[in-house]
Structure 1
Amino acid sequence: MDYTQILIKPVISEKATALKDTDNQVTFYVHPEANKIEIVRAVEEAFKVKVEAVNVIRRQPQARKRSGRNIGKAPGYKKAYVTLAKGDKIEFFEGV
């Protein structure tokens, strides 16, 4: 797979921003079938940085309920926490 297919989008939340500032970690939604090696290669190719570690979590789709009845599904996703080497940075919205 090409890195444009592996990295879906960055996660921009309070937790992701705090991790970026304190631990030099960036967070991405990734393709559900991508493994850690492919994620490392995709981030290094896309942003020209050195990756130290990758942690991956997967959330399964869940039923949305109202009054005890299923009314749809909340989508599942796969998310990667990428730890960058010291001195490397990925800037998404700096100066906005």
Structure 2
Amino acid sequence: MALTALNPSPARTHTDSAARRRDADGMAVASFVLGLIGLLLFNAVFGPCAIVLATLAIARQTQRRGRALLGLALGFADIVLLIVLVTMDNTVFWQFG
């Protein structure tokens, strides 16, 4: 009985890796969405979140690697936008017109 706890069955390992990959795919999509929203709203919050989620998704070998890379790029764009806004007019807000 103790041996089965130390040595999981192949079926359990397969479902665990499938669930882990599904979680990584969700992280890739979430990083993309947060990076995209961060260009318009709360880029100081959403940018770093997008970077962290994209990095975790890539590290966990997501099948949505392109989306994770887009989320990573958008997260960095959010940070650059924040720096530009603070440098130009000493505020983190921007508006049209």
TM-score bucket (shorter structure): under 0.3
Give the structure-2-normalised TM-score. 0.25
Larger radius of gyration: 2
Give the structure-1-normalised TM-score. 0.25
Larger proportion of helix: 2
